[in-house]
Amino acid sequence: MICAGIDAGSRAIKIVLLEAETSEVIASGIHDQGVEQDALTQTLLDSLLAGRGLTRDALGRVVATGYGRNLLRFADTTVTEITCHALGVRHVAPDVMTIVEVGGQDSKLIRLTPKGTVRDFAMNDRCAAGTGRFLEVVASRIGVSLADLGPMAARSQKPASISSTCVVFAETEIVGLLASGVPAEDIVAGVEISIARRVAAMAGRMVEPPIVFTGGVAMISGMAEALESVLEKPVRLAPDPQMTGALGAAILAVRQHTEGTAEA
């Protein structure tokens, strides 16, 4: 029997399929978010199943998480991103104590107990200045792709100081920096540091290593190093960081399916 975890994020839909008996990942996939979220998600799910020679009949349970989880009518249940990222990261990094997750619309800092349960968390979902949206704005303003930002930041000789705490004002600040001749590489590096500082502000001084960095923004090179610099502690990248939420949802789906089978 197969169980599915779906992370309906603000920028992309991610799905992980687990074999219920072994908890082995048998397939995973990602698709850009769109207006018809439910239809897009079902198409991706069917494609992943078909790639393994399976149909929906093979599904034991489907758990959804993420920004758009409540729009997925076919999911059996929904669970918060906090729980799913904690489970997913703990699965790939069993010793993790602090999780930093930065996505397209929000950022989270999750503290775990030694047993891996969520102790507490802080979340920034009111301002885009500490999220992937800030990087999208910068990439658009400079005229490059998101993938170009990391290599650009690596070439910086003197990261610019981005003082604005609101992405709207920060964009104006960036326009001013460009007009005054500040190299784009220094601006990008400054933005990475600015995002890292927003995360550190959420954390306060209570950041216990090991720290694992996950979410779509973790895929931008240089961001992990920016976090290390600001937090003054080592930061590890989660394997396949975009997929940890979906992985955690799939792990929950397996648990719920197994419990249901046992009760039956």
Mean pLDDT, rounded, for 130-145 = 87
Sequential DSSP letters for 17-70 = EEETTTTEEEEEEEEE--SSHHHHHHHHHHHHHHHTT--GGGEEEEEEESTTGG
Higher pLDDT, 172 or 57: 57
What pLDDT does 173 receive? 86
CATH number for the segment(s) 2-85+243-263? 3.30.420.40
Topology of 95-238 in CATH? Nucleotidyltransferase; domain 5 (3.30.420)
What pLDDT does 262 receive? 44
What pLDDT does 203 receive? 78
Residue with tokens 């705490």: 165
Measured CA distances, 255 to 13, 73, 161, 190, 236 (Å): 22, 21, 47, 43, 27
Q: Per the structure block, which two tokens stand in for 57?
A: 């009949």
What pLDDT does 252 receive? 97
Note every long-range contact of 27-35, with CB atoms under 8 Å and residues 24 or more positions apart, other chains counting. 27/51, 27/52, 28/240, 28/243, 28/246, 28/247, 30/242, 30/243, 33/8, 33/9, 33/68
Q: Per the structure block, which two tokens stand in for 222?
A: 């240089």
Spatial CB neighbours of 237, under 8 Å, sequence gap ≥ 6:
212, 213, 214, 218, 224
pLDDT bucket at 205, cuts 50 / 70 / 90: low
**Nearest one of 10, 45, 40 to 26, comparing CA atoms:** 45
Cα 92 to Cα 212: distance, rounded to the nearest angstrom: 10
Global pTM?
0.90
Cα 213 to Cα 129: distance, rounded to the nearest angstrom: 18
List, for residues 71-118, the tens digit of each pLDDT value: 999 999 999 999 999 999 999 999 999 999 998 888 899 999 999 999
Could you give the angle at the alpha carbon of 123 between the alpha carbons of 62 and 164, nearest 5°?
135
What interhelical angle do 184-203 and 132-142 show, nearest 10? 170
Whether 130 shows a pLDDT value over 80: the answer reads no
pLDDT bucket at 65, cuts 50 / 70 / 90: very high
Whether 161 shows a pLDDT value over 60: the answer reads yes
Whether 256 shows a pLDDT value over 80: the answer reads yes
List, for residues 1-47, the tens digit of each pLDDT value: 999 999 999 889 999 999 999 989 999 999 998 889 999 999 999 99
What pLDDT does 98 receive? 96
Percent of the chain having pLDDT more than 70? 95
**Nearest one of 160, 150, 220 to 194, comparing CA atoms:** 160
First to last CA, the chain: 16
Cα 189 to Cα 168: distance, rounded to the nearest angstrom: 18
CATH 3.30.420.40 range(s) for the chain read 2-85+243-263, 95-238
pLDDT averaged over every residue in the chain? 91
pLDDT bucket at 128, cuts 50 / 70 / 90: low
